[in-house]
């Protein structure tokens, strides 16, 4: 792992000052943040281009790597493209949001501030490598899917494309806050009230892409979800995981349909696909493959 750059107290962290992004190759960086050092895995643009694609993990985000790098073929699929892939590591049960306070139920010492990291600290750091702060795409799976749309909605100056794959893109839907609560408690004993407050708190609406749909107008969007029917891609994951993946996906499908109807009513173009599959990484690998031409077009990264 390479430690590069640093931060003067009170200033944004920056990387080394270079005129052009490294051409190709994979690297692990450690980026200073208000949450402490954050590992970020990157695959540099094939020909030193300045655009970037941020890829966000799911609820079970590991602490040592992005599951995009281990559970999909995205590195190979984009290896010849002139876009840097950016994989923030961590964010377990965070929804990549700025939390009100540290989780009160698991001894968390520092409040998650992932939106600040992804839209301020990390872009400032990558700018030192020649990565643009304004010509980026963002996509995510499951937890990261809704977060990707939310980040793009509130930071239109940074993101030119947003994608959600099996994301929960309508968390204010009745009782869904309780589903989020249960999932976060199960995955790390996190308290959702410390993230967005109780149901009805404005933070829930701010982090609901369906509610914030108007802010996405004019942005290329790709939303996908599965129909919950298992296929060959589920077999290696075993029966237990497949049953769980079948159960989760209908929620994502309903959310995708609600989002589709909402943007259609507003006259906002978006591609929304309901495909065969469950809440499992092989289907999200397929989704990023489907989204790839849209991403390259939006970023001018061919």
Note if 65 is an active site residue: no
Cα–Cα distance for residue pair 23/70, rounded to 1 Å = 22
Burial class for 121, CB neighbours closer than 10 Å (0-12, 13-18, 19+): buried
249 in active site: yes
Query: Cα separations (Å) of 126 from 4, 157, 208?
Result: 11, 16, 28
Task: Please state, in angstroms and rounded to a whole number, the distance separating the CA atoms of residues 199 and 148.
Answer: 21
Q: Which two tokens stand for residue 249?
A: 């996906």
From the list 33, 93, 132, 142, the catalytic residue is 142
Task: Evaluate whether 281 touches 159 at the Cβ level (below 8 Å).
Answer: no
User: Is residue 279 flagged as an active site residue?
Assistant: yes
Please name which of 195, 203, 185 lies closest in space to residue 103, comparing C-alpha atoms.
195
What is the rounded CA–CA span in Å between residue 140 and residue 178? 22
Considering 115, 120, 121, 249, which one is annotated as catalytic?
249
Q: Which of 103, 115, 132, 279 is catalytic?
A: 279
Residue 224 buriedness (CB in 10 A; 0-12 / 13-18 / 19+): buried
Q: Distance between CA 105 and CA 11 in Å, rounded?
A: 32
Positions marked catalytic: 142, 249, 279
């Amino acid at each position: 792992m390479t430690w590069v750059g640093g931060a003067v107290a009170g200033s944004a962290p920056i990387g080394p000052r270079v005129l052009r992004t490294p051409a190709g190759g994979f690297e692990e960086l450690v980026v200073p943040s208000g949450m402490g050092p954050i590992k970020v895995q990157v695959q540099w643009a094939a020909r030193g281009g300045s655009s970037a694609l941020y890829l966000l993990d799911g609820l079970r985000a590991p602490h040592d790597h992005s599951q995009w790098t281990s559970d999909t073929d995205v590195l190979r699929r984009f290896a010849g493209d002139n876009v840097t892939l950016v994989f923030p590591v961590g964010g377990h049960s965070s929804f990549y949001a700025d939390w009100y306070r540290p989780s009160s139920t698991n001894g968390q010492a520092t409040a998650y501030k992932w939106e600040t990291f992804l839209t301020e600290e990390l872009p400032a750091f990558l700018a030192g490598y020649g990565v643009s702060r304004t010509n980026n795409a963002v996509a995510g799976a499951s937890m990261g899917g809704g977060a990707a749309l939310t980040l793009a909605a509130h930071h239109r100056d940074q993101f030119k494309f947003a994608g959600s794959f099996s994301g929960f893109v309508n968390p204010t839907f009745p009782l869904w806050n309780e589903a989020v609560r249960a999932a976060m408690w199960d995955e790390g004993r996190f308290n959702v009230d410390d993230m967005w407050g109780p149901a009805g708190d404005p933070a829930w609406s701010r982090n609901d892409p369906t509610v914030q749909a108007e802010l996405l107008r004019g942005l290329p969007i790709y939303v996908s979800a599965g129909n919950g029917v298992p296929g060959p891609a589920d077999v290696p994951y075993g029966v237990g995981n497949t049953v769980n993946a079948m159960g989760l996906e209908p929620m994502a499908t309903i959310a995708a349909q609600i989002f589709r109807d909402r943007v259609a009513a507003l006259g906002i173009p978006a591609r929304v696909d309901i495909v065969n599959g469950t809440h499992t990484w092989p289907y999200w690998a397929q989704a990023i493959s489907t989204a790839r031409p849209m991403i390259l077009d939006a970023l001018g990264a061919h």
